[in-house]
Structure 1
Amino acid sequence: MARTSIVVIGASAGGVSALRLLAGALPADFPAAILVVQHIGAHKSELPALLTAAGSMPAKHAEDGETIVPGHIYLAPPDRHLTVNDGRLHLSRGPKENCSRPAIDPLFRSVAANYGAKAAGVILTGNLNDGTLGLLEIKLRGGVAIVQDPEDAAHPDMPRSAAAHVRPDYCLPLTAIPKLLVELVNGSDRKAAAMPISPSQQNAGAEPEKINGNRFERPLTVTCPECGGALKRRVVGSIVKFDCHIGHTYTAEVMAAAQFEEMEKVMRAAVRFLNERAEFCLQMAEHIRTAEPVAAAEWHAASKQAMDRAYKLRDLVEQDWITPESSGIAPVGNGRDRAVSDNAIEN
């Protein structure tokens, strides 16, 4: 395998502490550049200062068009995707991927395309599975795939997903990763990578024609939770992926979480409208109670009906829902901003 000349790291929930530990364990003369995406959304980030203070390598937010210099740590700034091309860094406000901007996959894909076997990708702690597809691209192009041991991660979902779908070259506790990175960039002997085997695609089973006695008319398509555009389903390795024509992309697990979030938002809005209708009808009933008692009774009935349906809908929203995406990957409270605890640490 080729000597590693660039390292890319992806992290989400719990990532700030993990990145500080890594930065503190790397030598000042580390001979390769390190590019990092930590899920921070559009929030202000002090992560460069934290990593610089933690270790010997200078860390900074990437700037659009700047040349990549070995021995530096470059971080994706808030609300910008970070990619590379021809030895330079590039920033964009492109569509969110897996409900994130910055997202891990765009960086890993671009590094795989530009550096091939000279790249090493690292997936650290985090929720859901951003970074799995990007790490797979690095692996397929001959680079080194590294995953934090899920048992060692504060939030094991991201490394668990990468370990399951990519067949990484190394699955290590966090404290062992800095030493491995030094060996990789120095060209020390290491095991050969085993390329992942893509499973044959299987057709999904037919949906039941009836559910609880009611006929289920399958919709023409599934739409994007972010913009409402039609989604195209495709399979990459063993990962199911959905893309809309705007450019928003989701793995199946992130799609399920984002879809549920939008569904709950709509249903709670319906509860609010029903409550408001009940109040409006009640006010009208009180207004004409003496002058038009028959009409007032109808307004009262409409108010009662709206309130009754609001209670029923609220009960429906608050019931337990089947969430198959959580069987191996824990759901998140807000898929669009998954690093709240990290932001609190940074700020």
Structure 2
Amino acid sequence: MNKARNPMLIVVGASAGGMAALKVLVAQFSKDFPAPIFVVNHMGPHTTGEALVKILNESGSLSCVHAQHNEKFKRGYIYLAPSDQHMLIVKDKILITKGARENRSRPAIDPLFRSAAVAYGNQVIGIILTGYLDDGTSGMMAIKRCGGTCIAQDPDDASYPDMPQSVISNVGADYCLPVAEMGALLSDLLSRDLPESQPVPEDIVIEAKIAQRVLSDLPSVEALGDQVPYNCPDCGGVLWEIEEEKLLRYRCHTGHAFTSSALLAQQTDKIEETLWVALRMFEERQNLLVKMSNNEGNRSLSSISQRAQDSQVHIERIRTMLKATDKDLHG
């Protein structure tokens, strides 16, 4: 691969099905690849990510490492976000932060993409791969607004098409193609003149600072949108509604952020959790009432028996709601 005409960097976001897609992507990079590559792949907080580092090292010619805080990045390396931490980019170095989750994830794709857009503007190439829901859409919008280039995996090529389809629908990808064809496209893009530079919008700067935990207060969030009568399902704080063209998002003043789809999914999880607690408490209550009703010395047997029957009614109702919640979650 020829040297890049201009200094560029590549940011990649993936979720469900991401490991297979990333293997195909990195296999196309030559040893002299002229740009650093930053990858966020959704993972659980107790997953180390070492398996993915090993697989990506075995899949291609470039070295893949877990990103380190304040590390100066270099061309020809793949930097993977560590588990349960956000990876951000500032001028010439990487930041690893324990900021609030975005779209129910840490690491999340949006904070990486936004930080890259703020720091490097039109030098950024964003790639969104397979995954559920729509993490990465807001970040890709930031890249687009700052003059960068947006690439989405062809949804027909993705194991889980939600994330690339969301980018295509809400942002409008500059390129939409299978992962196996992205290497040739990147070679071409890195040899071209830079896209036209765009000024960095103030709202993107504010959100990038929030991710760094530099700025997270009421005035900063109020500058982004309007307060709405919803609560953050993670911390209980009030939410502000942010409209980004077709995309509707929500953010609380402590830093949690959600697209409307992610907020709905998190609310559903919280409802299910609450219902299970209520079910356990009603079952325990019913068991106690039944035991009391079996006590021949109890003078209020009819009242206790009726209360036990009432508890059974509540138990059946909660079980019905849990079945409906499970159907809502899993289709």
CA–CA distance in structure 2, aligned partners of residues 146 and 266 of structure 1: 40
**Could you tell me which residue of structure 1 aligns to residue 285 of structure 2?**
277
CA–CA distance in structure 1, aligned partners of residues 175 and 138 of structure 2: 17
Q: What secondary structure, in the 3-state scheme, does the structure 1 residue paired with 2:234 have?
A: coil
**Could you tell me which residue of structure 2 aligns to residue 242 of structure 1?**
250
**Could you tell me which residue of structure 2 aligns to residue 44 of structure 1?**
48
Q: What secondary structure, in the 3-state scheme, does the structure 1 residue paired with 2:294 have?
A: helix
1:4–1:119 contact (8 Å) kept in structure 2: no
The residue type paired with residue 239 of structure 2 is L
The residue type paired with residue 31 of structure 1 is P
Q: What secondary structure, in the 3-state scheme, does the structure 2 residue paired with 1:319 have?
A: helix
1:51–1:59 contact (8 Å) kept in structure 2: yes
CA–CA distance in structure 1, aligned partners of residues 195 and 165 of structure 2: 21
Q: What secondary structure, in the 3-state scheme, does the structure 1 residue paired with 2:96 have?
A: strand
**Could you tell me which residue of structure 2 aligns to residue 11 of structure 1?**
14
The superposition leaves residues 32-91 of structure 1 with CA deviations (integer Å, 9 ceiling, x where unpaired) of: 000000001311212111111110000000000010100000000001100011110000
CA–CA distance in structure 1, aligned partners of residues 6 and 151 of structure 2: 15
Q: What secondary structure, in the 3-state scheme, does the structure 1 residue paired with 2:314 have?
A: helix
1:127–1:332 contact (8 Å) kept in structure 2: no
**Could you tell me which residue of structure 2 aligns to residue 336 of structure 1?**
none
2:102–2:108 contact (8 Å) kept in structure 1: yes
**Could you tell me which residue of structure 2 aligns to residue 164 of structure 1?**
169
1:3–1:185 contact (8 Å) kept in structure 2: yes
The residue type paired with residue 255 of structure 1 is L
CA–CA distance in structure 2, aligned partners of residues 279 and 97 of structure 1: 41
The residue type paired with residue 189 of structure 2 is L
The superposition leaves residues 86-119 of structure 1 with CA deviations (integer Å, 9 ceiling, x where unpaired) of: 1100001100000000000000001001111111
Q: Does 1:67 align with 2:72?
A: yes
Q: State the 1:240 CA deviation.
A: 0.4
The residue type paired with residue 110 of structure 1 is S
2:272–2:325 contact (8 Å) kept in structure 1: no
1:7–1:122 contact (8 Å) kept in structure 2: yes
Task: Give the counterpart of 1:125 among 110, 130, 135.
Answer: 130
CA–CA distance in structure 2, aligned partners of residues 273 and 321 of structure 1: 20
The residue type paired with residue 264 of structure 1 is E
**Could you tell me which residue of structure 2 aligns to residue 26 of structure 1?**
29
CA–CA distance in structure 2, aligned partners of residues 153 and 57 of structure 1: 24
The residue type paired with residue 274 of structure 1 is F
Return closer, same or farther for 1:124/1:153 CA change in 2, 3 Å cut-off. Answer: same
Return closer, same or farther for 1:7/1:191 CA change in 2, 3 Å cut-off. Answer: closer
**Could you tell me which residue of structure 1 aligns to residue 307 of structure 2?**
302
TM-score w.r.t. the length of structure 1 is: 0.81
Q: Does 1:146 align with 2:154?
A: no
Q: State the 1:320 CA deviation.
A: 6.9
Q: State the 1:321 CA deviation.
A: 8.8
Identity score, percent = 36
**Could you tell me which residue of structure 2 aligns to residue 97 of structure 1?**
102
Count residues with an aligned counterpart: 296
CA–CA distance in structure 2, aligned partners of residues 307 and 111 of structure 1: 56
Q: 1:193-212 residue pairs with structure 2 within 5 A?
A: none
CA–CA distance in structure 1, aligned partners of residues 7 and 261 of structure 2: 31
The residue type paired with residue 25 of structure 2 is L
Q: What secondary structure, in the 3-state scheme, does the structure 2 residue paired with 1:221 have?
A: strand
Q: Which structure would you say has the larger RCO, counting Cα contacts within 8 Å and 6 or more residues apart?
A: 1
CA–CA distance in structure 1, aligned partners of residues 160 and 182 of structure 2: 17
1:233–1:243 contact (8 Å) kept in structure 2: yes
Q: State the 1:297 CA deviation.
A: 2.5
Unaligned runs of 5+ in 1: 194-219, 324-330, 334-347
The residue type paired with residue 13 of structure 1 is A
CA–CA distance in structure 2, aligned partners of residues 190 and 63 of structure 1: 29
Q: 1:335-346 residue pairs with structure 2 within 5 A?
A: none
**Could you tell me which residue of structure 1 aligns to residue 268 of structure 2?**
260
